Structure 1
Amino acid sequence: MEPQDWTDEHVELWQAVLPELDPDIEGAVTRMKRLSVHLRRVREKSLADFDLDRQEFDTLHKLAGRGGDATPSDLAADLDLAPASVTGRLDTLERRGFVRRTPSKSDRRRVDVELTELGRATWLGAMDVLGDEEYRLLGTLSKDERRQLADMLRRIMVVAEGGGA
């Protein structure tokens, strides 16, 4: 018999209340929700361990995703924020030594933002904690099973995002 998790008991309880309940759908959705909550908790603990708040991490993450260099307007667009909000975030990150702002070489009216070594190391450290947990959890599946899971979730997300039926 397969090992049981919390969701198995949950599904059994609700099938008694709602006999028409599809146990596979309820089980899958409940497990996805619980996994999402678990990974969010790991992320929040990682941020606390690295003395980052979510906004700081998100800004460092977007900056790192641009190769460590961006303009404040690039970051505002990436974060879907007003430029003034990004300025406040950059002020905090610069005071902490995570980013450096310098006049643009191409346009003296602009500022360029650069991820410092400390900012990159802090961002990577926080990322590693979550990444290690993701690998630990998904490491229970074979490479082919992970690919199959990713493909199945993609099919579901295409529908969720309005791109399919």
Structure 2
Amino acid sequence: MEADADADTEDTAVERDWTDGHVERWLPVLPDLDPDVEGAVTRMKLVTSHLRKVREQSLVDFGLQRHEFDTLHALAGRGGRAAPSELAADLDLAPASVTGRLDALEARGHVRRTHSTADRRRIDVELTDAGRATWLGAMDVLGHEEYRLLGALDADERRYLADLLRRVMVVAEGD
């Protein structure tokens, strides 16, 4: 019976991570430190940092700079076709900055400019097949890692985590 009790204890034991040691080191220094707040914030920062590194490596692997990816992403988010002014608004940039980005992306074959079918005075930017493939490739690397990490949780736990983080973000966005 004792072996069964030990097995049950092992099954319910929570695996430790780097943050557990971090919190333990700081508790004697800051006795009022809430270990749950410190643990949650530290883990969120570490997960964000990890995903940033994966994203940056995927950009290197696909030959994109961050601003190029952001521009392709904004364009893809508009169905692959948008006016430069729409992209400028989406990216919170001056129109001249978007023009420079589009020039470089067009030279690489990732986008093309065409006259709008609705208004010939207007120019539309279209995502090319090559641009879409590059953008999707970079997205897939990051998406795969996000699913890998959150695969540690079942569907209900992921939904609960998303709900909890939404509550935190509502407070942050209210500032």
TM bin, normalised by shorter chain, reads over 0.9
Unaligned runs of 5+ residues in structure 1 are none
Q: Distance in 2 between matches of 1:133 and 1:106?
A: 40
Matched residue count? 163
TM-score by length of 1: 0.97
Amino acid at match of 2:34: D
| 2:151 is aligned with 1:139 | yes
1:134 Cα offset (Å): 0.3
**Which consecutive residues of structure 2, in runs of 5 or more, have no partner in the other structure?**
1-12
Deviation sequence 1:44-79 (CA, Å, 0-9, x none): 000000000000000000000000000000000000
Compare CA radii of gyration and give the structure with the larger one.
2
Counterparts of 1:18 and 1:106 in 2: how far apart (Å)? 63
The code of the aligned residue for 1:136 comes to R
Q: 1:114 aligns with which of 123, 126, 146?
A: 126
Matched, 1:15 2:27: yes
Select the residue among 141, 148, 171 that pairs with 1:129: 141
Cα deviation digits, residues 12-46 of structure 1 (max 9, x gap)? 00001111111000000000001100000000000
Matches within 5 A, 1:1-165: 1-162=13-174
CA RMSD of aligned residues (A): 0.8
Q: Percent of aligned positions with the same letter in both sequences?
A: 75
Q: Which runs of 4+ in 1 moved over 6 A?
A: none
TM-score, normalised by the number of residues in structure 2: 0.91
Cα deviation for residue 126 of structure 1 reads 0.1
**Deviation readout 1:94-135 (Å, 9 max, x if unpaired):** 000000101122222211100000000000000000000000
Equivalents in 1 of 2:146, 2:111: separation in Å? 28
CA distance in 1, matches of 2:37, 2:26: 12
- Measure the CA separation in 1 of the matches of 2:165 and 2:49: 17
